[in-house]
Amino acid sequence: MNNVPQHVSIIMDGNGRWAKARGKERVYGHVAGVESVRACTEAAVEAGVKYLSLYAFSEENWNRPEAEVNRLMELMMEAIHNEVKTLLDNGVRFVVLGNRARLSASLNAAIDALMEKTAACARMTLIVFLSYSGQWDILQAVKKAAAEKGPEGVQAMTADDFAGYLVTAGIPDPDLLIRTSGEQRISNYLLWQCAYTEFVFSDVLWPDFRKPEFRAALETYAGRDRRYGKVK
């Protein structure tokens, strides 16, 4: 495929509705969604995408029922343990970004261990945004910049300088953002980084979003004319 995006990001939406349509609890949809993560990661590697990022759990998601939150964290632990060999075999570096201070010590330890094991992998980087929100990201960046540079230094900062204080420092902004389940909003995700991102909205619920749907989104992106405010 020509014009493959360097960085694809996905808002994985629709797990609860998928489960409800089958008469199941919401967590059933989250379990099924793990297979879609695996499928899209494989499709991204096959297509030559260099960065795949997934919005797994927002800061606002902490307000969900405790049982659902606990199950989501258990699923993350299970996925970390189950996917080590697959990530290493496929040359995929694993990274978690977000407000990790809210995560349990055991989950943080598992995340750190997997990040260390895959640190040398260079075929693709898989980024999981966990306990993340765009507003939190910008606010923590402002605080870090102010503490480091002071008022005068902040005044002299450029947009590129400021981006270096975001949790995504060193990672290119998304070229393509996919949101599943038919919803058409950004939901407090990568507010700074998506300034010139192309959006594709799919009606498919996340547990049903697999390789054909991912490839269709890449094809849609390939047909876009990205001008960045310029005239071609």
Q: Is 90 a catalytic residue?
A: no
- Please report, for residues 13, 26, 127, 165, 192, the alpha-carbon distance to residue 29 in angstroms, rounded to integers and kept in the order given: 10, 5, 21, 35, 30
Positive or negative, the CA dihedral 215, 71, 134, 107 is negative
Catalytic residue among 13, 137, 173, 175: 13
Q: Answer yes or no: are the C-beta atoms of 179 and 217 closer than 8 Å.
A: no
Is 160 part of the annotated catalytic residue set? no
By CB atoms closer than 10 A (0-12, 13-18, 19+), residue 179 is buried
Q: How far apart are CA 12 and CA 127, in angstroms?
A: 13
Q: Which of 2, 3, 61, 108 is catalytic?
A: 61
Q: How far apart are CA 114 and CA 86, in angstroms?
A: 12
Q: How far is CA 12 from CA 43, 153, 154, in A?
A: 16, 38, 35
One-letter amino acid of 189 = Y
Where is 52: in which H helix or E strand? strand 51-58
What's the residue count for the chain? 232
Distance CA 68, CA 74 (A): 10
DSSP helix/strand/coil, 176: strand
Any idea which residues carry the catalytic annotation? 13, 61
